[in-house]
Structure 1
Amino acid sequence: RQRARQACTQCNSRRVKCDVVERNPCSNCVASAVACETRESRRGKHPRPTKKRRESAAPSSGGADALAASRVLASLHRDGEGSSKEGPSPQGLGHDDLESHSSQDPRLDEDNVFLGETNLLRFVSDGTPASMHPGPVTAATARLRYLVPSFAKAEALVPQWEFDRRRVRLDYLHANGAFSLPVPHVTETLLKAYFDHFHPCFAVVDEVDIWAQYRKGALSPLLLQAMLFIGSLHCDEPILQEVGFDSRHRAKYVFFNRAKDIYDAEFERKKITIIQALFLMSFWRAGALLEKDTRHWLGSAITLAQTKALHRSAGKAETQNAKLKRRIWWSLYTRDRQCAAALGLPDRVRDEDCDFEALEISDFDFAFGPAVPKRQAMEYANYALVMAQLATQLGRIVHSGYLPNQAFSDSHTAQMKEQLLELKQRLPPPKQHGDAISTQSSFFSNMLRLAYNNLLILLYRHDYVVNGEGGRESDGNIVLQTAAENSRIIEDMLAEGNLHHGQIHVITNLFNTLCIHTVHLRRSDGTTKTVAEHRAKLCLLGLQELQKTWEVTNWVLSLFFAYLDNSTAARLRLQEDSHLLNTGSSISKITTPVLPQATGFEMPRRTGPPIAIPGGEVIPQLTDDMQLAPGSWAWTSEEANQFLFSQIEDQFAFGEGEMLDWSPEE
């Protein structure tokens, strides 16, 4: 049959007949509800090499190798498949097509695949291992990327029945609102919340490009829904109520699942866009036992990023695309280290497999919009740089002392201490009384100091738990001083009203601090015990504040409230009711903090004999008929001594770890 003179990119990749010459968009793209795009032919338009260049070119150049390989593979493909369908023949893949995939072209990400050093393809062209090529990046790394022939791309190999199945699924998603958006001003408000509160910490997109694509209607639906999910974490709740969401949790659930459905339908084709969306989706706080949790989405993003060689050196490439990819990879790396340490699980990224460049200030040239003052943009960039360095050091500490059959040696501890002292010089100075530092600057400085202090706690925690605080200069006392500083930071952030915008690593930092204060609480008496109790209360209050954004109850508060002993459960009551114990009044209702119903967690009901307390009063045991209501509580030293320490003895991993087997008799 007669071939069409021209085909759109979608029909060309699927090798089906296209009528884009007769109508635009073509009928196939209309049926599939996808954008119909045609590629301008480069035939005769590429610069011709001079005679001198042709003579000096090596006979086994990369372009010639790729062209020859594609022709051989094409012939094998034709032999196995029979007659080819509509589409350009592999022989049509000329030098102009190869040249269009230069390192300056973002399409390189879509048309190349990374195959590491163990793959033997790198020996085929001239028999020289890529690792033997000189240069920092190298020709070596460049030659580990291979151009995939057009006929071998995933889209070209999709059979018609699979295409029909995808189309049915996309129709279903359209009908069920997966691609729907809030009204424009709400969408823009959510995007603004994303760029105000999340983007400064993880600049995985270019702000100017995102706004331009959004206004043109060209922004990827997958990425947009993922960004709206993050925006819903940080926006004001009245904005969400304006579009019918009765709670922040409901809004997060809707936007996250829209992004998830679009991802599962394989609608998005651009790999970098998919990586960006998966990274944002990894901030979904799933239940503790659910399969698709934070590490599932983060692991998917890391795996895809590695297939696009984001973990390998790109040399001194200074293009906008190269800088974006460096920021994306460092964001993945930072979160991988934080998640692995928080959960006590292995890293997904091994330093031995990577040779990527360190972040630099210049990598943020395109990250922020023109509305962000230059000084503020510099502060954001410095935050990301220091946080990446802290994440690197976090991995080293975990690998030195927290792997199976591994313990800190004196030499390792001394080395880590020196490295931490160097890192401390890069931290912003702590806020002093009377400083003119802005609240926002103080916010980022506080988050960095919390992350840094968490490293100190991890490094010296064992010495403190086993040996106590010892002298003023002992390693154990460093832990106690660090935890005290963290409590002061949390108190400042609570007073400034911005703690709920803190990034997710603050949860782990707070929980580890709470553990240290609880240990100190058990070992202390008198005024020292009261101070430790106050500091622990600040940590719990901070966790409750973070719960507004990150649903802390899924991990941390559940550990503290799931297995309370009877005495502690009875005494967790409103502070306003404390006079009842002194006036002899009977207590018919005990008010305790409960977890939000969104988590599906219920406080265990207890029945049994009444509890005798000092002073001769008797508090009836909790029964199923007693009402539990949220509220603040008065937490006594005895309760903290009896319960909190039992929950966090040295068996905890690094912050969000396992629960202990414990009974009140112990």
Structure 2
Amino acid sequence: MSKEIRSRASLVCSRCHERKVRCDLISQTGGNCSNCQREGRHCSIHAGSRKRKAAAIAPIAGPENASVPTVNMAPSLLSDVSPAPSESRTTHTTPITVADRRGYFGDQSVMSFSLDARASDDGTGGILTTSDVNAILALTRAAALPSEALSRALADAYFKEMFARVPVIDVSELEDAQSSPLLRLSVYFAGSMMRRPKDYPSGASPKHFFAKIKTLLALDVEKNVFVVLKTLCLLGSWSWRSPQQATLDCPWQWAGMAGRLAIQLGLHRDSTYAATSRDGTNRRIWWYLVNNDVLQSACYGRPSMLRFKEFDVRLPESYDFVNPGVDASFFCTFTRLCSIISSISALANPRHDVATEDISKQLDSILQWIKEVPEELVLFDATGNRKPYNRMANELHGFYLVALILVYLLPGSHRQSPNLRTSVIVAASCQSALLQEILYRDEISYLLPIYGWVILVATIPRLFASAMFPDLSAVFAEELDIGRRILRQMSDNYPSAALVLAKIDRLQQDRQASRLMQSSITGCGVVQDTDRQGDSLWSDVRLLFPFPETFSPCISLLRNLGLSGPTIVVGETAEAAAEAAAEPRRATGTVGDIPWQADWSDFSLDDMETFVSFFPPEGAWPV
């Protein structure tokens, strides 16, 4: 009788191999064998040389690069990058320690007492075996990477065009030949967002990469939780469904998952950063999530998930970047602006008017911000000459101008200020000039989905500006057309842009809707107009626009603002101003239960009256 041959495991950890004990790593989906789990250790795979082992872990060539077994990144932004496998086996992930994977417990929680490191790395697997996972990967090709040339192009697109806004992955992370497929696919996904839809190579659209990433996340093949966090951050910047749909495949959900995972890792506490060498990257990740949350909350009119009072992380600085430069300056400056927008949002209670003092504080914060914009992101030099075009500077100032408009749209008596009313019209016009420069340079594909909301906010004062300045009606019409052209291009990538475009078109077609809503606004009554006599409170609004008059046709409207005595609106005589000041009118500063945010659910296409009531009725605009 022949002796029974004992089968060898095709995958074992180094520790079990050295000790000559049986290893069940191949049957564990948690990344650790049972022996290492009991000892609280992290498995490192034994790299043997047997042929049967090599065959078991050989990469599966994907259809995208069947003839190119490896991705060798040629010099570009990714200089000296080592080859990356076209598809990695399921057990390969970026190295990470037990401490890196430990969940955060607050000091006030009883769960924080006597933490056991072994409990943080129990290695329990899911219902799928390694064989199941490999079979799914072979069927879906989820871990297959694009060709060398396409990989390089997509990575360059992310680092050149998107990194400044979503700086969660560094170039050095792709230089590692062993970097995980999920990390690489996430970068390629982000890079594909920066391409025009008609230019997508076969199998390289955002949806294509999105499907692969979702598969890898569902299979839980990536054990480096920070790689997962970075992936969720990038997914949170993309929108491929209409915001009117309640779905898990939307930036609101992905960013929410990323935010909760970041809190689970303790990134909301500044003390966490001192214990890691990744403090700069982690800080950028946290503040990107905060910025994203601020803008999405304002856009959708939903509660904020990352509230400033609940974290103590210092603001990002240039030294948090590996290579400080314009990208670092943009992100740090933009983060400070988002903090201001968050404070504006906190005042947006439609049932209570905002006090004049609070409006002044917000305007002071905005004014201080514009004074501190780094020189490399300033639009004009000291002599008023336009500096060389920089799209990031245009985007930055576009959000700044939106912040000004949002302050005005807060409920309160300040809405009756001719100075503030004029300033938001000027802000909308300046934003149109910035967008026009981006449009003419064919760079609309680089705008993220949130810019559809930016255009919508700037459209609000522009739609009703003709009643205040009829001589500029042609200018306002041209600016509306610029916004439409941009939204039409963006809608090829993002359905949310098509929704914004439909709302704007519906509004302009129904110019009478605002008059119909005048009688339904709560709090309206006959009051004495004192705004023209006391408008000197907002006399410094001209300082909010450090631009020459040649930048926008509407900047000249600021000339007469801030004069002593009653403010004279451009286009009316002193006699007319005096008559208007003495004549009682209906107050429209309080908008009752109508929310100030551009809440998509409230502003549905089937109920445009609700959307129109967001604006002051046309009769409230002085003519």
- The TM-score normalised by the length of structure 2 is 0.66
SS at match of 2:409: helix
1:346-357 alignment runs, 5 A limit: 346-357=303-314
Q: 1:25 deviation in Å?
A: 8.2
Amino acid at match of 1:452: Y
The answer as to 2:275 corresponding to 1:326 is: no
Aligned-partner Cα distance in 1 for 2:346–2:372: 23
The answer as to 2:102 corresponding to 1:112 is: yes
In the alignment, what sits opposite 1:339? 296
- Picking from 200, 225, 228, the partner of 1:274 is 228
Q: 1:182 deviation in Å?
A: 2.0
Q: 1:437 deviation in Å?
A: 3.5
Aligned-partner Cα distance in 2 for 1:416–1:434: 26
1:483–1:516 contact (8 Å) kept in structure 2: yes
The answer as to 2:190 corresponding to 1:223 is: no
**After superposition, what is the alpha-carbon deviation per residue over 1:399-443, rounded to whole angstroms, capped at 9, x for unaligned?**
11x24644421221121111111111122332369957433xx21
Q: 1:233 deviation in Å?
A: 1.6
Deviates more, 1:653-662 or 1:281-290: 653-662
In the alignment, what sits opposite 1:87? none
Count residues with an aligned counterpart: 464
- Picking from 423, 447, 454, the partner of 1:502 is 447
Deviates more, 1:412-421 or 1:328-337: 412-421
When residues 263 and 283 of structure 1 are mapped into structure 2, their CA distance, relative to the original with a 3 A threshold, is same
**After superposition, what is the alpha-carbon deviation per residue over 1:151-181, rounded to whole angstroms, capped at 9, x for unaligned?**
x5252x237xx242x6424422321221122
Aligned-partner Cα distance in 2 for 1:434–1:338: 31
Q: 1:191 deviation in Å?
A: 1.0
Amino acid at match of 2:420: D
Aligned-partner Cα distance in 2 for 1:510–1:110: 41
The answer as to 2:332 corresponding to 1:388 is: no
1:276–1:328 contact (8 Å) kept in structure 2: yes
Aligned-partner Cα distance in 1 for 2:384–2:482: 23
In the alignment, what sits opposite 1:158? 125
SS at match of 1:113: coil
SS at match of 1:114: coil
2:353–2:411 contact (8 Å) kept in structure 1: no
When residues 451 and 464 of structure 1 are mapped into structure 2, their CA distance, relative to the original with a 3 A threshold, is farther
Q: 1:566 deviation in Å?
A: 10
Deviates more, 1:287-296 or 1:309-318: 309-318
- Picking from 287, 291, 310, the partner of 2:242 is 287
SS at match of 2:154: helix
In the alignment, what sits opposite 1:257? 211
In the alignment, what sits opposite 1:194? 158
Aligned-partner Cα distance in 2 for 1:253–1:234: 13
When residues 287 and 542 of structure 1 are mapped into structure 2, their CA distance, relative to the original with a 3 A threshold, is closer
The answer to which structure, 1 or 2, has the higher relative contact order (CA under 8 A, 6+ apart) is 2
Aligned-partner Cα distance in 1 for 2:50–2:354: 65
1:507–1:552 contact (8 Å) kept in structure 2: yes
Amino acid at match of 1:264: A
The answer as to 2:428 corresponding to 1:478 is: no
Aligned-partner Cα distance in 1 for 2:481–2:198: 30
2:350–2:595 contact (8 Å) kept in structure 1: no
Amino acid at match of 1:505: I
Amino acid at match of 1:426: E
Amino acid at match of 2:332: L
1:17-56 alignment runs, 5 A limit: 23=48
- Picking from 343, 354, 362, the partner of 1:408 is 354
When residues 30 and 310 of structure 1 are mapped into structure 2, their CA distance, relative to the original with a 3 A threshold, is farther
When residues 312 and 179 of structure 1 are mapped into structure 2, their CA distance, relative to the original with a 3 A threshold, is same
1:645-660 alignment runs, 5 A limit: 653-654=597-598, 656=600, 658-659=602-603
The answer as to 2:179 corresponding to 1:204 is: no
Amino acid at match of 2:485: L
The answer as to 2:40 corresponding to 1:13 is: no
2:449–2:496 contact (8 Å) kept in structure 1: no
| Percent identical | 17
When residues 19 and 107 of structure 1 are mapped into structure 2, their CA distance, relative to the original with a 3 A threshold, is closer
SS at match of 2:205: helix
Aligned-partner Cα distance in 2 for 1:382–1:208: 20
Aligned-partner Cα distance in 1 for 2:46–2:480: 71
When residues 117 and 24 of structure 1 are mapped into structure 2, their CA distance, relative to the original with a 3 A threshold, is farther
Q: Could you list the runs of 5+ residues in structure 2 that have no partner in the other structure?
A: 1-5, 7-15, 37-42, 61-94, 513-592, 614-623
Q: 1:363 deviation in Å?
A: 0.4
1:513–1:539 contact (8 Å) kept in structure 2: no
Aligned-partner Cα distance in 1 for 2:417–2:474: 17
**After superposition, what is the alpha-carbon deviation per residue over 1:56-80, rounded to whole angstroms, capped at 9, x for unaligned?**
xxxxxxxxxxxxxxxxxxxxxxxxx
1:462-473 alignment runs, 5 A limit: 462=410, 467=415, 470=418
Aligned-partner Cα distance in 2 for 1:454–1:230: 26
Q: Could you list the runs of 5+ residues in structure 1 that have no partner in the other structure?
A: 36-104, 126-145, 369-376, 569-648
In the alignment, what sits opposite 1:528? 472
Aligned-partner Cα distance in 2 for 1:360–1:537: 38
Aligned-partner Cα distance in 2 for 1:9–1:387: 46
For the aligned residues, what is the CA RMSD?
3.9
1:460–1:475 contact (8 Å) kept in structure 2: yes
In the alignment, what sits opposite 2:118? 149
In the alignment, what sits opposite 1:610? none
1:68-217 alignment runs, 5 A limit: 107=97, 109-122=99-112, 124=113, 146=115, 148-149=117-118, 153-155=121-123, 157-158=124-125, 162-164=127-129, 167-210=131-174, 212-213=175-176, 216=177
The answer as to 2:364 corresponding to 1:418 is: yes
The answer as to 2:498 corresponding to 1:541 is: no
Aligned-partner Cα distance in 2 for 1:563–1:514: 10
